[in-house]
A and B are shown apart, each in its own frame.
Chain A
Amino acid sequence: MKKTLLLILGCLVSNTILAQSFTISGYVKDKSTGEVLIGANIYNAKKENGAASNSFGFFSYTTEADSVELIISYIGYSVERVTFLLKEDVELNIELVPGGVLEEIVVRAGEERVEEVTQMSRVTIPIQQIKSMPRLLGEVDVLKALQMIPGVQSGAEGSSGLYVRGGGPDQNLILLDGVPVYNASHLFGFVSVFNADAINNVDLVKGGFPARYGGRLSSVIDIALKEGNTEKFKGEGSIGLISSKLTVDGPISDKTTFLISGRRTYIDILARPLIKAESDGEETGGYYFYDLNTKINHRFSEKDRVYLSGYFGKDEAFAESRTSDSFSSRNNEYEDDFGLEWGNFTTALRWNHIYTPRLFGNVALTYSRYQFDISERSYTKETTGSVTKIDESKIRYFSGINDLAGKVDFEFIPSPEHHIRFGSSVIRHKFNPGVLAFKSNVESDTTLGEQRTRSAEFFTYAENDMQLLENLSLNVGAHFSGFAVEEEIYTSFEPRVSFNYTLPSNLAIKGSYTKMTQYIHLLTNSGIGLPTDLWVPSTPKIKPQVSNQFAVGLAKNLDVIEMTLEGYYKKMENLIEYEEGATYLSIEDSWEDKVTVGEGESYGAELFFQKKYGKWNGWLGYTLSWNFRKFDDVNFGRRYPYKYDRRHDANLVLVYTPRKGVEYSLGWVYGTGNAVSLPVSIYPGAYPDSRFQNGSVNYYDGRNGFRMRAYHRLDLSASWTKPKRWGERTWSVGLYNAYSRRNPFFVDIQTDYNFNDGTEEKKLVQYSLFPIIPSIMYSFKF
């Protein structure tokens, strides 16, 4: 351990002392909107090295005093070249012109090449490519786009849940402007909460996690919101089959910009009059969701910027009934209300400060809340003559989690060979895993299951992304975290290391090892990511989840196509699962008494070809994987395949833009059928009196021992954009499941009775969810 620490410390403090060196620093932005460009490449052709812009668009490049020729590039933008003589520190803000996406120009000199990046298992999909992909019901969905990446499984049909390298849906750290989002789905999982119109950048990290990331075992999904147009007031929106959205952004002053983006469904508005008419006005009900992203960004000086961003989203389903009747002198009035709602609220206040051209800092205060609430009210008013009797009762079940966090991060870039990051964070969690409150005017009020838990989580990290040799780079670091809950304090030291060794043929060999610790758990028994799933903390009885992941891979740029091949092995411990038959509403017991603790193991290989720009762009991915779970109290303690153990998984995304304003896209997915448990034998159940049978007992020879049919689906879309006096409009049409494949959602054994001859026939029946679904959407920009 001591040796490891010394090695890490040595790596962190080692620094190339440059003779008379100066720093070029600044921001890279989109010239037309002023939006920062994340991950833009700044390359010095003279020295053949460079830097990349960070998640705030900031870059810092230090080199010897000399003439420099900077090539600044970013996918979808024209390349910018800047030449000057460097003789002092220079502040350089670069603006790139969009529109280069169709040009098959290979910017070999300036391009960030996949074989040169130390980090592996990381995928960036340009937001424009996400918007071009075919989608369900016309809704652009960031998480569904990520499901098409090798190593990421989609879970149930239509769901936006992510299962990364064998991990569960709770093991993804989904960050929206740096704030964790706990439930990222609307419409019971069919639509994700992220509105693509408000998003600037999406990064997915599924392994080889740098030390700055922690708190989840399987992935980090880092979503950055746009900052708002600095040049002029702009807007865009769309009208679709289930929802409409509108985004406006622009400058408030020359130093302040804003962005506001909203989306709402209108199923309820359309359905409400129909339900009312059907029930003679006695009943109404509906379902809707909305979300709202807001951001304000102020530049106090060239060195200080403040960002305030917020997300508010809610899903609500409701039903109301108002009826009455009369018997002779007695009048009765009845009211029944049912409500179900869940939603997230997140906000972040962030302050960037450039301490020196080589030292960049960010301080953030964040708040995230997720709450689920289900309520039912029953009201009866009975009037007999002058006597009135009222019975009213309300029952409410709610659960939730909220986090308040502070975080500081620093980036120190002393030379192109070293990029050092360090920082710390403290999070206060409040868990409320389920409360049932009962109120009545005839019985005493009752509250059950109040199990509020407060806990504190902290971490500190340091990492150095360094170029050790011309063909060997290394990212080494450590993440130390702790979690205090009740009288227990857990700590975890997590070494992180990644390397990249480039062979002469520009073929890179990569490898990584990461240990991750997760102090929170998700209790679910639905398997489809319902809002009823409960977030619970580690406790003295339930230990934190831990994973160890090893990965090795190859990476190479094949002309305009990036190719990566990665193999991984991941072991997970202290996973929890409901005991058989336990449900979220069993609030009389503590949730800790309803779970069983076990472990998981997954391994596999992922092949990925990605072309990010050009008339033809897209990707092809293939995953070969194995994924298991083992719990003492499940499957008689024997290891069994995870539900989403998918031996083969293939994805193809193609976007074709024959000319400006016309776009065609195709998405095809294939996956081995999900694992399913089916009985193999049946036998009579027993009654205490042996003369009788107690129904029939199903005998399962192990959990998830069978496979449903393979899943495959083709989605198509086309869009036509036309400039208008006021801006531009786009018509998009799409077909989800174009060849109407009946994909399995679940299978069941069904018995058909023949009433003519009294016989019955048993058969395995597969239920499918979505046949071919066309969609149409009208979008506009002004």
Chain B
Amino acid sequence: MKKLVLLLLFYSACETIVDIDIPKEDTRLVLNGFFNPDSILSVALYESLHVLDDSEFKVVEDATVSIFDGDGVKLADLVDEGSGRYSSAFHPEVGTQYRIEASKTGYQAIEASDIIPADSARVPTIQIVKTGEEGSGEYEITFTIQDYAKEDFYEVQLMQRTYYEFDGMAYDLVINHYMESEDVVFDDFTSSGIALLFNDVLFNSGESKITVTAFLNSYISCDENPECISEEYSLILRKVSASYFNYNRTLRLQQDLEGNPFAEPVSVYNNVTNGFGIFAGFRNSAFPFHLPED
């Protein structure tokens, strides 16, 4: 429908390059970092650009980046690893509130806080049915989720880990597969991709069956590659914080609507005070499954 209208409109549309005075905002620090209990803490620092600036994003080095707990006790200083990355051997814990601060001369200091959800995701059953034609790799995956009695946010992924040997060396390769779903728990713009976001508004504290269609056809499948030793499939159900959910949801939405002149623009969620970006926690739970035999 919208395409039809756009076609009609663009048929006679013409372009003019115009000057609209877009004021130069102060360059701000951008902090991007998701944290979880299975990894060390690592964030990236950049600086923002004016919207009409053609240059590449610039990383920020030699900044001071520190992590604090909820009581304001400094836990560690993150080490500048170059290329704008800062990390610490520190492993965040579930259920703990963390605050991160970053500063550098010439920029306004920034800070952000978030938490890793205390509870892990619960998936008692997974059912896989092959639905597509031979060779299509199309499967319908239905999993049951047991929710907690509070507002919860989730992200689901389908992971394939393949172990193989090549020239006497062992490797493992991880792929997150594309999925799509018509299940009511997903929004239009979060219902396809390699990670699908949803919340528990429709089944809070209850149980829900969610179905996704996955395309597991892979060039690294053991059926096709003699170097392949074994492969594993897992449903990764990630419990994510509200900040994680809001950021990824709005980012996806903004990217989806890009170029649509009739849509109101979407502001991407930002929890970095005095700057831009995201600092948000999540925890993974893996639920292995086997593909059905042909």
- Taking beta carbons and an 8 Å cutoff, which residues of A are in contact with B? 188, 317, 340, 374, 525-528, 530, 532, 580-581, 583, 585-586, 588-589, 634-636, 677-688, 690-691, 693-701, 703, 706-709, 742, 744-749, 751, 759-771
Contact = CB atoms under 8 A, between A and B. Distances in A.
A681 B49 contact: yes
Given A686-B247, A698-B268, 12 more contacts: A374-B1, A527-B262, A581-B253, A634-B264, A635-B267, A681-B28, A690-B32, A700-B265, A742-B14, A745-B261, A760-B54, A767-B261
30 contacts: A340-B4, A527-B264, A581-B266, A583-B188, A588-B182, A588-B184, A635-B267, A678-B51, A680-B51, A681-B25, A681-B276, A682-B53, A684-B32, A684-B44, A685-B251, A686-B34, A686-B44, A687-B32, A693-B57, A697-B251, A697-B254, A698-B51, A706-B20, A763-B52, A764-B17, A765-B16, A766-B15, A767-B15, A769-B9, A771-B12
Nearest to A743: B16
Nearest to B42: A690
B278 interface: yes
B89 interface: no
Contacts of A636: 267
A690 B43 contact: yes
A239 B105 CA distance: 73
B49 to A, nearest CB: 5
A634 B266 CA distance: 9
B37 to A, nearest CB: 13
B13 to A, nearest CB: 5
Contacts of A679: 51, 265
Residue of A699, A759, A767 contacting most chain B CB atoms (<10 Å): A699
Given A683-B277, A761-B54, A709 B85 contact: no
A695 B19 CA distance: 26
Contact of A680 (B50, B250, B270): B50
B61 to A, nearest CB: 14
Interface string B155-198: 00000000000000000000000000010100111000000000
B54 A759 contact: yes
A691 B20 contact: no
A767 B262 CA distance: 13
B194 to A, nearest CB: 11
Given A530-B5, A585-B188, A681 B253 contact: no
Interface of B: 1-2, 4-5, 8-10, 12-20, 22-23, 25, 28, 30, 32-34, 42-44, 46-54, 57, 83, 85, 87, 182, 184, 187-189, 247, 250-251, 253-257, 259, 261-268, 270, 276-278, 282
A748 B17 CA distance: 10
Contacts of A525: 262-264
Contacts of B53: 682, 762
A318 to B, nearest CB: 11
Contacts of B189: 581
Given A681-B49, A684-B30, A769-B13, A580 B264 contact: yes
Given A586-B187, A697-B268, A707-B20, A765 B51 contact: no
B46 A683 contact: yes
A746 B4 contact: no
Nearest to A677: B265
Nearest to A685: B251
Given A690-B33, A764-B20, A188 B57 contact: no
B52 A767 contact: no
A589 B28 contact: no
Given A188-B5, A686-B33, A749 B48 contact: no
A159 to B, nearest CB: 11
B46 A764 contact: no
Contacts of B182: 588
Contacts of A768: 13-16
A14 B256 CA distance: 64
A683 B49 contact: yes
A699 B262 contact: no
Contacts of B23: 680
A686 B85 contact: no
Contacts of A770: 12
A709 B264 contact: no
B22 A706 contact: yes
Residue of A581, A701, A707, A742 contacting most chain B CB atoms (<10 Å): A581
Nearest to A593: B201
A769 B12 contact: yes
Given A680-B23, A680-B51, A681-B25, A581 B256 contact: yes
Contacts of B259: 748
A530 B260 CA distance: 15
A700 B270 CA distance: 12
Contacts of A680: 22-23, 25, 50-51
Given A580-B266, A742-B14, A766-B18, A684 B57 contact: yes
Contacts of B49: 681-683
Given A188-B8, A681-B28, A682-B49, A691 B19 contact: no
Given A340-B1, A526-B262, A681-B28, A765 B44 contact: no
B20 A678 contact: yes
Contacts of B184: 588-589
A690 B57 contact: no
A585 B2 CA distance: 11
A700 B253 CA distance: 14
Contacts of A634: 264
A635 B2 CA distance: 25
B267 A700 contact: yes
A742 B262 contact: no
Residue of A528, A696, A697 contacting most chain B CB atoms (<10 Å): A697
Contacts of A530: 1-2, 5
B285 to A, nearest CB: 15
A580 B254 CA distance: 9
Residue of B30, B42, B259 contacting most chain A CB atoms (<10 Å): B30
Contacts of B254: 697-698
A683 B48 contact: yes
Contact of B14 (A585, A677, A767): A767
Residue of B18, B23, B28 contacting most chain A CB atoms (<10 Å): B18
The list of the 6 closest CB pairs from A to B, nearest first, reads: A686-B32, A746-B261, A581-B253, A683-B30, A683-B48, A690-B44
A580 B253 contact: yes
Contacts of B32: 684-687, 690, 693
A428 B282 CA distance: 51
B80 to A, nearest CB: 13
A162 B259 CA distance: 26
Contacts of B50: 680-682
Nearest to A701: B25
B12 A766 contact: no
Given A188-B8, A684-B46, A764-B17, A697 B276 contact: yes
A681 B51 contact: yes
Contacts of A678: 20, 22, 51
A687 B47 CA distance: 17
Contacts of A583: 188
A704 B257 CA distance: 17
A589 B247 CA distance: 22
Contacts of B253: 580-581
Given A586-B187, A694-B251, A581 B257 contact: yes
Residue of B52, B250, B268 contacting most chain A CB atoms (<10 Å): B52
Contacts of A585: 188
B16 A532 contact: no
B40 to A, nearest CB: 11
Contacts of B16: 742, 765-766, 768
B209 to A, nearest CB: 15
Contacts of B267: 580, 635-636, 699-700
A581 B253 CA distance: 6
A711 to B, nearest CB: 13
A466 B261 CA distance: 51
Contact of A580 (B20, B28, B250, B261): B250
